[in-house]
Amino acid sequence: MKNVIAVLSFLLLTSLTNYGALAEERLITEGGQTTATLRNGPIDEEASPPKMSKVENNDIKRKRAYPMQPPTIPHKIDGYQVDLKVNTCMSCHSRKRTAESQAPMVSVTHYMDREGNFLADVSPRRYFCEQCHVTQAATKPLIGNDFIDIDQLINNDSPKSH
């Protein structure tokens, strides 16, 4: 068991070190050891939390990075209750309410259970919207990102570009 833990922590450490290559501005060196971190200070000091960024509320949808990406939310969601009793999101986004709200309907996948059967109402596995959908904010990425969109990838790979 001890060996398993040792191997797992080694893997975790190496993956953290790899991450470090991207997050250079947040490398900290303590006791001769350099660690990649998203904390903004030494581990034994209370760090001041970064400012909360302003949520965009401009109704402008962002491009999705890949076909099955949960779209980000182009409006504020302050005070929209989602619990056992109510789901405020569905009061605009459900099939029944879209004529009134002019909100895009949740896609059919949200009405499917895990066996692929269509249900009359939103599936329990899609009930807690904010599990997958996040609001939009104009923030600086915490770490670098070299994600390439599939269209660009195909373009780069096409014989024309050689």
Q: Under a CB-based contact definition with an 8 Å cutoff, are residues 103 and 55 in contact? A: no
Structure tokens at 30: 């303590």
Q: How far is the CB of 75 from ligand HEC (least distance, A)?
A: 4
Q: What b/e string do you get for 37-52 counting C-beta neighbours within 10 Å, with b at 16 or more?
A: beeeeeeeeeeeeeee
Contact flag: residue 93 with ligand HEC (CB under 6 A): yes
Q: How far is the CB of 24 from ligand HEC (least distance, A)?
A: 32
Return the DSSP state at 55. Answer: B
Contact flag: residue 152 with ligand HEC (CB under 6 A): no
Closest by CA position to 28, among listed 46, 13, 43: 43
What residues between 15 and 54 interact with ligand HEC by CB under 6 A? none
Contact flag: residue 55 with ligand HEC (CB under 6 A): no
If the CB atoms of residues 36 and 73 are measured against ligand HEC, the closer one turns out to be 73
Contact flag: residue 133 with ligand HEC (CB under 6 A): yes
If the CB atoms of residues 36 and 87 are measured against ligand HEC, the closer one turns out to be 87
